[in-house]
Chains A and B, each alone.
Chain A
Amino acid sequence: MILIEAIKTFGSYLLLMKRVLTKPERWLMFFRRTLHEIYQLGVNSIPIVLIISLFIGAALCIQMKTNVESPWMPKFVTGYATREVLLLEFSSTIMCLILAGKVGSNITSEIGAMRVTQQIDALDMMGVNSANFLILPKVTGLVLTIPILVIFSIASGIGGAFLIGKLTGIMTSEELTLGLQHEFTVWFVWYSIIKSFFFAFIITSVASFYGYTVKGGSIEVGKASTNAVVSCSALILFSDIVLTNIMMQ
């Protein structure tokens, strides 16, 4: 029963995406809306990304220094491990989980409110492809800005490690730099960014789907945004495993 429901939901998601991924009616309007979404979804997320990454970077550094580093391990292990965790998982997957909460619920409630107040019907009645008009700029906006958010997150995390080293004096900058530069693989940065493209698409499209298909009143909008965040998070974690399997082998 649940399986059939899930397949049905996935089917209607695909049908919605078919309507979303078409050529915009008016390019100028599309660019204007995309720019707005870049600001709304991307730029407005920079502070939270910077702050969270800074703290996680700092915490990672302390953990690695006090719990992982030991006399028989090389000196560079703290910096090295901190960098790898940030690059491989935190700045893409975990950061996108956080964004699913912030951006995802925002998208669902915005589109859901438009649905229950008949604004989407009004668009359809005018002969506008409402799915394309409302959702494509959001998808494009976040997919375009996510690499920047990932880079910011990595940078801020590393900044956090340096900062905590300085503040607490547990390790010197030279020691940390040595680890950070140890066996650096550029591919990992790309890996992080490539993953984040998928996650950005999941967040925006799934959250939009939940909002677009709201039925009923404002209570339903609230429920839909909770469901959207849960679904986005689950899908991000699942696709993280799939993508890692594909790209790291």
Chain B
Amino acid sequence: MIEAISIYKQFEGKTVLEDINATFNNGATNLIIGQSGAGKTVFLKCIVGLLAPDKGKIIYDGRCITTMKEKEKITIRREIGMLFQSAALFDSMSVLENVMFPLDMFSSMTYKERLARARACLDRVNLIEAQDKLPEEISGGMQKRVAIARAIALEPKYLFCDEPNSGLDPQTSLVIDELIHDITKEYGITTIVNTHDMNSVMNIGDHILFLSGGKLAWEGDKTQILNTENEQLNEFLFSSEILRQVKEQAFKHK
């Protein structure tokens, strides 16, 4: 479980995050949605400790990361898997080497065990046949899947994804979404996903936070989101015609 308590962040006098309180539970996919510039990435960076909030606390299962020394932060980071917007695979290493990398650095397993673990992770994302390829030789969607395999190699307790679907077609997005969702459930991970993909919201949104102008404007799950009264959220959600129709139909059935 991760708790964010009253997070504030400013950049050069401009307030980007204002008094954000949230709790993220184990085994749930927590989505952070909001317009471009709403502060999603900044919030995620505050949570993982890549940015320090001006005020407030981030607590990982009772451990407060904001007041921690760099050394202690590293122990928590080893329990974190992170998926970057650009996959961020190491381009000088093969797919298998990428997945093995965290194991090489941090595990005390033998080479054989590491190899087996890396293969198992690649198998989990259905990419075992691409293990000897270089990242540049596989498609964007495959790269994302390799990044997921790398992120779960050390069996993380926490998984963070910044726009995992950007630049992917809807079908591939679905594959990635479900992979993240399934892995979260399988291992009981605390997962936080930044997204503005409404398909993801409807598919895997166990717990949804809506950021607007740096404030937490709405919180709920995917069944509640369609019937919300929140004007800003409605404006954000139903800018897409299809969802508007879905909502209207839902009302008709009632």
A127-B77 in contact (CB<8A) = yes
Once bound together, how far apart are the Cα atoms of A117 and B89, in whole Å? 9
For chain A residues 89-124, which have a beta carbon within 8 Å of chain B? 113-114, 117-119, 121-122, 124
B78-A127 in contact (CB<8A) = yes
A126-B78 in contact (CB<8A) = yes
A118-B84 in contact (CB<8A) = yes
A122-B88 in contact (CB<8A) = yes
Number of interface residues of B (CB under 8 A): 21
B82-A122 in contact (CB<8A) = yes
Q: Is A125 an interface residue (CB 8 A)?
A: yes
Closest to A127 in B: B77
- The listed residue with most B CB atoms (<10 A of its CB), out of A25, A114, A119, A127, is A127
What is the minimal beta-carbon distance from A36 to any residue of chain B, in angstroms?
9
B105-A25 in contact (CB<8A) = yes
A119-B104 in contact (CB<8A) = no
Closest to A28 in B: B104
B90-A119 in contact (CB<8A) = yes
Q: Is A243 an interface residue (CB 8 A)?
A: no
A residues near B140, Cβ cutoff 8 Å = none
Once bound together, how far apart are the Cα atoms of A113 and B89, in whole Å? 12
- Out of B78, B88, B105, which one reaches A119, CB within 8 Å? B88
Closest to A33 in B: B92
Once bound together, how far apart are the Cα atoms of A191 and B89, in whole Å? 43
A residues near B84, Cβ cutoff 8 Å = 118, 121-122
A29-B88 in contact (CB<8A) = no
How many A-B pairs fall under 8 Å by CB? 47
Q: Is B102 an interface residue (CB 8 A)?
A: yes
B50-A125 in contact (CB<8A) = yes
A127-B88 in contact (CB<8A) = no
Chain A proximity mask over B79-106: 1 for CB below 8 Å, otherwise 0: 0101011101111000000000110111
A126-B102 in contact (CB<8A) = yes
The bracket for how many chain A residues form the interface is 10 to 19
Q: Is B202 an interface residue (CB 8 A)?
A: no
Once bound together, how far apart are the Cα atoms of A128 and B91, in whole Å? 17
Q: Is B48 an interface residue (CB 8 A)?
A: yes
What is the minimal beta-carbon distance from A122 to any residue of chain B, in angstroms?
4
Once bound together, how far apart are the Cα atoms of A122 and B102, in whole Å? 11
For chain A residues 1-35, which have a beta carbon within 8 Å of chain B? 25-26, 29
B residues near A118, Cβ cutoff 8 Å = 84-86, 88
Chain A proximity mask over B229-253: 1 for CB below 8 Å, otherwise 0: 0000000000000000000000000
Residues A125 and B74 in contact in the complex (CB < 8 Å), given A26-B105, A29-B105, A119-B90? no
What is the minimal beta-carbon distance from B73 to any residue of chain A, in angstroms?
8
Closest to B102 in A: A126
What is the minimal beta-carbon distance from A39 to any residue of chain B, in angstroms?
13
Instruction: Give A contacts to B, CB under 8 Å.
Output: 25-26, 29, 113-114, 117-119, 121-122, 124-128
23 inter-chain pairs at a CB distance below 8 angstroms, sorted by A residue, are A26-B104, A29-B104, A29-B105, A117-B88, A117-B91, A118-B84, A118-B85, A119-B88, A119-B91, A121-B88, A122-B88, A122-B90, A124-B50, A124-B77, A125-B48, A125-B80, A126-B78, A126-B101, A126-B102, A127-B73, A127-B78, A127-B106, A128-B105
Other than the known A25-B105, A26-B104, A127-B73, what 18 A-B pairs have Cβ atoms closer than 8 Å?
Answer: A117-B88, A117-B91, A118-B84, A118-B86, A119-B88, A119-B89, A122-B84, A122-B90, A124-B50, A125-B48, A125-B50, A125-B77, A125-B82, A126-B78, A126-B102, A126-B105, A126-B106, A127-B106
